[in-house]
Structure 1
Amino acid sequence: MPLSLLPGNRPSFDSTGPAGHRGRMREKLLSRGPEALADYEILEMLLFLAIARRDTKPLAKQLINTFGSLAGVLSASPAALAVTGGLGPDAIAVLQLPEEAARRLAGPERRTTPILNNWDRLLEYLDQALVGAVPGQLRALLLDNRNRLLADETVQGEPEHVPHVLAGRALTLHATALILIRVVPAGIPDRVLLKREAVLAGAVRTAVSLLSVIVHDHMLVGMGNWISLTQKGLL
């Protein structure tokens, strides 16, 4: 009888198919930790969950080449993954999990923090934040370097003290920008109000510039209308 047919003498070879490759990937993950995985290997293992019997390594590399990086793949829209990436609904659903997990990991306070990086978002925020605001009130929106709202505070004190108060708050909160909001009081002519508020905004800008903090705008809000000192060239 040929040796190759004797019981117990069959040679053992590692599988070269998808199942064997997946086993080696799992072993690498368990023995060396996720930090040992290349970007395409992380993506490859995520795709294991959606694609049962196919080598996902070429697909993972193709997706990273298409979207530029692992982060680009994981933050791509479902439509982009379907059209550009050529993925089916199961794989698309799996690739949305890491971004959602990261969002939840950031904590509820981060998830609900407004990002005031354009006019529409700012005005939408003010529509809610200024409900019931007292006429004449001065508010300061302190922002981080991505224009996320760190604090919305009422500013108290005489006008000459406001710049120093805001500089102190910006320093405490590590703010990099701020927006001033004045709830317009009744009975003051626009010309007088604009001149007074432009002086205040200029003083604040001078004080906080020493901390490399930018004043994006000073807005006058009231009676359903708003005026931007930046747009009027007064700041």
Structure 2
Amino acid sequence: MSKVVEFRGVDNLVAAEVTKDDNELEGGYEVGEVFSVAPVAEISKTTETSSETKYYDNLPALVINSEGSDEIGVTCAIPDLATYAKLVGKTIDESTGAMIDGERDPKYFALGYRFKKTDGTYRYVWRLKGMFAIPDESSQTETDGTDSNNMELTYTGISTTHKFTKGGKPAKAVVVDDTETSKCDVSTFFDTVTDPDTLKAKEMLIAKIDEGKVDESVVG
């Protein structure tokens, strides 16, 4: 019987502004510094998909599939005001620290996080390009109970314009399972945004490739 594993934990919610995304082979995808968003309670993903069956000669002949954007739902503690303003495209008055809730200047961000699994391993994720919606906010009077309100962020993830060398295509995300047999080095996964071309193999595997003991194609 195959090993049964489920998700049971989430942490390390971070983001970085996408500062460049174009078709240039060199430097076509660039990001700013990684910053912490907020302590996270839950993350969910829904992918927009559609399919249609085509009929010929009174028979189903083929199915046309399409894949759209990803909607990432993030339940988290309330971000500090500067982080919140950055994510939703509002202005912070540097002299007072107040947010000026005026016209938006929304930007694209990469979004990173990891899921913990029941076997103690992790799934590492960088979503490479997307935009945050303005979240709903609510609070209520204090009572003798324990009720409180967190925040739900909605991030719409799309594919990059830039075509990465690995795969030769745009990408929406990099997803790595860190297991005993994993080939990827995740020790610095969240230090910067890890994209398909900056994803690194473990040093031991690289050494074996250099020695000709492992085909380089197994890494990409």
| TM-score clears 0.5 | no
TM-score of the superposed pair, with normalisation by structure 1: 0.23
Structure with a larger share of its residues in strand: 2
TM-score of the superposed pair, with normalisation by structure 2: 0.24
Question: Which of the pair has more CA radius of gyration?
Answer: 1
